[in-house]
Structure 1
């Protein structure tokens, strides 16, 4: 068996706004429940070349400049939800670097989980939004495509990953599958959104109503997500692992329990040629750490 590798981002503490849902308190809760003996990697920050595969240079320059102009203790906003402080640029670069490191571990035959913040799946080519600055999983997918032919991204965060979808909507090399609450922020992710051009059919959106629980998610994975992945036959599966569909999440409005994320992970592993790489997205409730432990329990059994 190949125990799951954790890829951590100590710089996340530099991106922090007290009282905001997406703060360093999320990491503190997760770290408090992780066993001390688990193998953890510290990845370098992402290179500009890797960022430019998915983000436009003008957006990156704006983000770096906005962060650089923030004084210690000061804050700026990309939108009403998405803050930037003096350490945000560095924290985001290290988070994206950790996502690449997780993908590299998976391609080497070891399951990996980049437990990082800030999250990324709402960030698009020229914008950040929804707590997200740099799209970590998109950066990792684009990096992986320099080494393999096809990548699948499965997004189980309660919110639709509009940024990730936008980045690969025209591509036939990336399958993007999202199961998410709808209607809900950010208002995208309709079933009719299936890709365009060469990417037609490579986007799979499954919206679910508020309050959906284990039965609904398992049915979606067994009847829609997994068949799409098997048909696409990717060289690597990446998971946008947002645990905000948990019943106790203050922002999610869904009804999953921690063990359900272990079941979803088992289902993904059952169709994967190589171990998956996961990248943390949302998750703000008291049982978030327990859900991560359930995911790790399954990944540790990869053979």
Structure 2
């Protein structure tokens, strides 16, 4: 995993797997125990089993791997919070302000399995543990960062994350995703329930949407909602399967799109929450596109120019009129 500090990339190693209590803050004890048992059985017999119809596979190392992925995210939260508070202390000592400083830290957990489809009681969609959900609960309980913004830009709706926080007003979940794609959730009318009503914002983009569509969604929905919410930390479910080359869906992002998103979310974190920002890898299944897109996200966060020379004119025309209708509906529903 990578820690971005003082405009440098620093690799963090030696982190521990997530403690069981951090995982069971999101997932049921029964699910965690069953996963451990099945993984141990698979290790003994050397078999791989399908545990969900996506299909999601379980091997002899799955329980351990998923715990380490969650542990990576927790370690990044610890480091980002510690560094941001050090900046705040230094600024206070010098009677200055850390707001907007380009040196405020951010972290990126390059880990698999992904997590945003994982349900409280089961695996789903290649996902075992809900890494971003675990990180959000940990930030709240361990660091007192009560108001957590989760922005999910994966091409698929983060249904597992939504399920965990749908009744929690202190977690604002914003998902941009391809409409009517797997897993079939994420309609605009899904806004949360009970005390959490209004704290779930879904932006289902029509097929063929690309660079212009997602930046319009950022300007019209994501950024205004974040400013109104005033988060203490921002977590990003950074999926890269909305890339035009990815085989699993039908959006048209390119790696420069992720550069633009990385730069925008970093600037917002610097302004709103002391730079506290953690990215978590979700989907992305064309390895060349994935590598280019992750690298361009780093460049955006670091304030460097994008490395993508791809001509977006080679892609299909975006359905911007339909996109505008989606954004107007989101504005209406959420009073933005």
What TM-score, normalized by structure 1, do the two folds share? 0.86
Question: 1:26 maps to which residue?
Answer: none
Which residue does the alignment assign to 2:310?
none
User: Displaced runs of 4+ in structure 1, greater than 3 A?
Assistant: none
Match of 1:82 in 2: 56
Q: Is the 8 A contact 1:237 1:277 kept in 2?
A: yes
Q: Which residue of 2 aligns with 1:48?
A: 20
Aligned partner (choices 116, 127, 136) of residue 132 of structure 1: 127
**Larger Rg belongs to:** 2
The question of whether the paired residues in 1 share the 8 Å contact of 2:18 and 2:70 is answered with: yes
Q: Can you list the C-alpha shifts for 1:237-265, whole angstroms capped at 9, x where unaligned?
A: 00000011000011121101101001011
Q: Please, which runs of 5 or more residues in structure 2 have no aligned partner? A: 85-104, 305-336
Q: Which range is displaced more, 74-83 or 122-131?
A: 74-83
Measured in 1, the distance between the counterparts of 2:196 and 2:9 equals 39
Query: Which string of whole-angstrom CA distances, capped at 9 and with x for unpartnered residues, describes residues 205-264 of structure 1?
Result: 000111111111011111001111111000000000001100001112110110100101
Deviation per CA, 1:267-295, whole angstroms, max 9, x where unpaired?
21222222410000000112110111111
SS across alignment from 1:277: strand
The structure showing larger relative contact order (alpha-carbon pairs under 8 Å, at least 6 residues apart) is: 1
Task: Give the superposed CA RMSD.
Answer: 1.5
Q: Which has the larger helix fraction? A: 2
Conservation of the 8 A alpha-carbon contact between 1:239 and 1:278? yes
1:38: Cα distance to partner?
4.3
Measured in 1, the distance between the counterparts of 2:165 and 2:279 equals: 18
Following superposition of structure 1 onto structure 2, how do residues 158-237 of structure 1 map, counting pairs within 5 Å?
A: 158-237=155-234
Q: Give TM-score scaled by structure 2 length.
A: 0.78
Which residue of the partner structure matches residue 105 of structure 1?
Answer: 79
Number of positions where the alignment pairs a residue of Structure 1 with one of Structure 2: 269
